[in-house]
A and B are shown apart, each in its own frame.
Chain A
Amino acid sequence: MKKKQQAGGHDRRPGFWVYGILIAVLFGSAFPIWWSFLIGSQDAAAINQNGVNWIPGGNFLANAAKVIDTVPFWTALMNSIIVSTSVALSVVVFSTLAGYAFAKLKFRGREGLLIFVIATMAVPTQLGIVPLFIVMSRLGWTGSLWAVIAPAMVTAFGVFWMTQYLRDALPDELIEAVRMDGASMIGSFWHVGLPAARPAAAMLALFTFIATWTNFFWPFIVLDPGNPTLPVALQQLQAAHYVDYSLVLSGVVLSIIPLVLVFIFLGKQLVAGIMQGAVKG
């Protein structure tokens, strides 16, 4: 892996102009986030005038308090945590099991079924939204978090990702050895498959968590206004305070703090995950 990183096109240290361009790129990716704090910390009077006030105002906490008053912020935060955590856990469990089977177990139809799984990634399932909604209301699940969690409990991407990883990471001999010792199939998964899958499973959990946390379309349709996730609460905030961007953007800041914290601690892993996925996929 280390060797590969050296195999890029350019070995010499680049000149300052390359760093200059990259600094501009970084500015582009950080500026809008900084901007939302800048506006979110002022008040309506300060932002609705010509000219930009580049110094953050002292109004952020007051704005945030107002946001929490206007929309069910704490409920939304809890819901986002519950939904994202349960979806991430469930995707990891089911995808690891399926990935283990596809990568390491022999069964009839294995290749065809795996191709089917991969092909489903190209199916725009979001377009089945109307019947999905009909089903959820028949079940009486509309408005409940179950309606958001259940459809996302295992993904084709997750299965594919774990299959790819386990194929190389887990030697067949290891499975044979525990099988000879009398372990059942699930026992050998538990003792050998799961430990080997850990790094990829952690990565999958992280990406699933982020995707679920930022998801809007389906929660917006199926959840009640009183019981939203964070992106749905942001939509309510916009509906309530469109003219006052200082409130709206302080709400935006509140809503992105959790994932920015995740990014600060695990951003390195995210980068590695995307790059590994790209080479294998």
Chain B
Amino acid sequence: MTAAIDVDARSLRRIARNHRLNRWDVRFSPYLYISPFFILFALVGLFPLLYTAWVSVHDWNLIGGQGDFVGIENYVTVLSQPYFWTSLRNTFSIFLFSSVPQVLIAMGIAAFLDYNLRAKTLWRMGVLLPYVVAPVAVALIFSNLFGDRFGLINEILGGIGIDAIRWHVDVIPSHLAIATMVNFRWTGYTTLIFLAAMQAIPRDYYEAAIIDGANRMRTFWSITVPLLRPVIIFVIITSTIGGLQIFDEPRMFDQAGQGGANRQWQTLTLYIYELGWGQRNFGRASAVAWLLFLVIIVIAILNFVITRRIAGSTERRIRTKGKR
């Protein structure tokens, strides 16, 4: 009799314990599963970014470590360096040369891939091929193609009677060469993003427009482009964040890797590297990093507002036309 009660009590306790474990399991497991991301982001994303601000207000040497608190001295110093402003100009210039043509060309190619092609996959794979070539490798190939003396591009230009361009000397040509590397690697990728968005546009839109007498160019500009609005914004914003931090291509454009004798193509990230690991001045490198961070935030917000407004107005026009 007592034994039976004992057993019951024990199994009851076990059930209760299982029940409790199960409740904890249900309540805490989700947090456990998502925690790796948050822990890692805190350690290698957020903390370093905030700590950059701390380093930037100190004397701080790569080897010697933390020195005195110096307030905004590092900022004052870098803002008075001509190289900072050249780097800022170069960063923007290279970014514009690489993002604007890329978006336009990618939209054009996507429009062609949107035709009912034979061997669709082959063409799509073809545009994506450069994506698997590392930026460092791309940069080495193109710095050869853009060689000042024996480069293929200058040979071709010479063939049609144009004087050789000093790609590794002059400012704008060097930016064009570097932007070409970026565009070579990313245009195909961007094209496929646009293509996917184009294929999601319902076919009746085009049929209705064609019945109304619109030709292909017209349907592209009045239907395809406006409806790609969210994707265009997405591409521009992601390319801003990455593009303003460009390092690999300008670093590899010549052997010295400092962005040219007069820093013709030095970007801000190259400048950070030069300050931090060339001059071993972590304080100043952090000041530039933090300034670039602010620049990226401001540009991202501007980007968002402007693209929203432009695309928004075209879409409203379509809607009102549709209502008529």
List residues of A whose CB falls within 8 A of some B CB.
4-14, 18-19, 21-22, 25-26, 28-30, 32-33, 35-36, 39, 47-52, 94-95, 97-98, 100-102, 105-107, 110, 113, 117, 120, 122-135, 150-151, 153-156, 159, 184-186, 189, 210, 213-214, 216-217, 220-221, 230-231, 234-235, 238-239, 242, 245, 248-249, 252, 255-256, 259-260, 262-263, 267-268, 270-271, 274-279, 281
Cβ of B97 within 8 Å of any chain A Cβ, yes or no, is no
Assess the B128–A267 pair: CB atoms within 8 A: yes
Please report the C-alpha to C-alpha distance between residue A95 and residue B162 in the assembled complex, in whole angstroms. 53
Which residues on the A side are within 8 Å of B136 (C-beta)? 214, 216, 231, 234-235
Assess the A249–B30 pair: CB atoms within 8 A: no
Cβ of B282 within 8 Å of any chain A Cβ, yes or no, is yes
Please report the C-alpha to C-alpha distance between residue A125 and residue B49 in the assembled complex, in whole angstroms. 7
* CB-based nearest B residue for A21: B112
Which residues on the A side are within 8 Å of B117 (C-beta)? 14, 18-19, 22
Cβ of B57 within 8 Å of any chain A Cβ, yes or no, is no
Which residues on the A side are within 8 Å of B41 (C-beta)? 120, 156
Cβ of B69 within 8 Å of any chain A Cβ, yes or no, is no
The secondary-structure label for the interface of chain A is helix
* CB-based nearest B residue for A125: B45
The verdict on A252 contacting B141 (CB below 8 Å), with A4-B200, A124-B245, A131-B48 known, is yes
Which residues on the A side are within 8 Å of B223 (C-beta)? 9
Query: What 1/0 flags go to B81-92 for Cβ under 8 Å of A?
Result: 000000000000
Which stretch from B9-17, B171-179, B191-199, B306-314 is at the chain A interface?
Answer: B191-199
Shortest A238–chain B CB gap in Å is: 6
Assess the A98–B45 pair: CB atoms within 8 A: no
Shortest A204–chain B CB gap in Å is: 14
Cβ of B107 within 8 Å of any chain A Cβ, yes or no, is no
Assess the A9–B206 pair: CB atoms within 8 A: yes
Which residues on the B side are within 8 Å of A7 (C-beta)? 199-203
Please report the C-alpha to C-alpha distance between residue A155 and residue B144 in the assembled complex, in whole angstroms. 35
Shortest A72–chain B CB gap in Å is: 16
Shortest A98–chain B CB gap in Å is: 4
Cβ of B221 within 8 Å of any chain A Cβ, yes or no, is no
Please report the C-alpha to C-alpha distance between residue A125 and residue B37 in the assembled complex, in whole angstroms. 14
Cβ of B1 within 8 Å of any chain A Cβ, yes or no, is no
The verdict on A8 contacting B198 (CB below 8 Å), with A101-B29, A127-B290, A256-B137 known, is yes
Can you report 16 A-B residue pairs in the complex whose CB atoms are below 8 A from each other?
A4-B199, A12-B116, A18-B117, A35-B144, A52-B155, A120-B41, A125-B48, A129-B48, A130-B55, A130-B282, A131-B51, A132-B44, A259-B132, A263-B129, A271-B128, A274-B193
